[in-house]
């Protein structure tokens, strides 16, 4: 999902929202945060909590959480993934089951990237993501669409968070263990893509270094056949003795 911090005409809210408990969120109380290809994100400060409102565009409901998944996820308490508090309907309401949802709001640190995130923070982030993945697998929910554009590093604690929950699905045909392995592989793929993309854009590395590092990252996080290692363990084995992944690549290559 391509994010923009400049609201477009499509992102403008011409309606209020109502929560499941009947509380109304007036559109004038919402502050624009970002806009993607199928939805927009708004900040809502009700005086007690700051939350994020996710609103889907018309004809984009196919990308939203299914109602049965949304219902289960509202009852879970996540460490890293944003908690969901309520579904939303527009006023006047649409014919859809819901038009969006209310979730945790995170402030992004725009000055820190994955390859420069302190190694201890990256390890802790992944451990928390794995705990969330275990909880989802207990409910036979699979995470999809795990990619760099759907993640942020938070400003207050410099931790990595996955934000986009829309394509998560309930898969009754797979066991908890099978689902957990799928989650771990997708997290490893996220690390591989994110780190490689950043290194390719980093002018402090030569073209030869970039190529060698890219092959190394892909092999370590995606092509390795050792399925016994969790993503956090892979990162800890590699980066725990350096300040950041970038420092490791500098020293090794």
| Averaged pLDDT, 111-120 | 97
pLDDT value at 7 more than 60: no
Where residue 2 falls among pLDDT bands split at 50, 70, 90?
A: very low
Where residue 223 falls among pLDDT bands split at 50, 70, 90?
A: confident
Which residue among 104, 133, 150 closes a domain? 104
pLDDT digits (tens, 9 = 90+) for 157-195: 999 999 989 889 999 999 999 999 999 999 999 999 999
| Averaged pLDDT, 79-107 | 90
In a shared domain, residues 74 and 129? no
Query: Based on the structure, what is the number of domains in the chain?
Result: 2
Position of tokens 């993607």? Answer: 36
Which residue among 81, 104, 127 closes a domain? 104
> What is the rounded average pLDDT for all residues in the chain?
92
Domain that holds residue 210: 114-252
In a shared domain, residues 136 and 43? no
Say what the pTM is. 0.91
Determine, yes or no, domain membership for 1: no
CA–CA separation, 131 vs 114, rounded Å?
Answer: 20
CATH label of the domain that carries residue 161: 1.10.510
In a shared domain, residues 100 and 182? no
- The pLDDT of residue 103 is 97
Determine, yes or no, domain membership for 49: yes
């Amino acid at each position: 999902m391509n994010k923009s911090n400049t609201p477009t005409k499509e992102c403008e809210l011409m309606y209020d929202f109502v929560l499941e408990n009947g509380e109304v969120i007036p559109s004038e109380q919402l502050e624009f945060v970002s806009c993607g290809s199928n939805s927009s994100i708004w900040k809502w400060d009700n005086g007690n909590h700051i939350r994020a409102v996710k609103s889907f565009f018309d004809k984009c409901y196919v990308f939203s959480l299914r109602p049965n998944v949304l219902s289960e996820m509202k009852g879970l308490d996540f460490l890293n993934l944003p908690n969901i508090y309520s579904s939303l309907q527009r006023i006047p309401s649409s014919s859809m089951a819901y038009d969006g949802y209310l979730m945790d709001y995170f402030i992004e640190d725009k000055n820190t990237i994955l390859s420069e995130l302190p190694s201890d923070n990256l390890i802790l982030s992944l451990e928390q993501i794995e705990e969330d993945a275990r909880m989802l697998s207990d409910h036979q929910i699979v995470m999809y669409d795990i990619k760099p554009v759907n993640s942020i590093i938070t400003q207050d604690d410099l931790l990595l968070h996955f934000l986009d929950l829309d394509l998560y699905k309930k898969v009754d045909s797979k066991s908890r263990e099978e689902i957990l392995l799928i989650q771990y592989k997708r997290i490893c793929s996220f690390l591989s893509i994110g780190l490689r993309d950043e290194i390719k854009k980093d002018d402090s590395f030569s073209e030869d270094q970039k190529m060698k590092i890219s092959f190394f990252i892909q092999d370590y996080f995606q092509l390795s056949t050792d399925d016994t290692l969790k993503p956090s363990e892979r990162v800890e084995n590699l980066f725990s003795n350096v300040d950041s992944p970038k420092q490791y690549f500098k020293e090794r290559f």
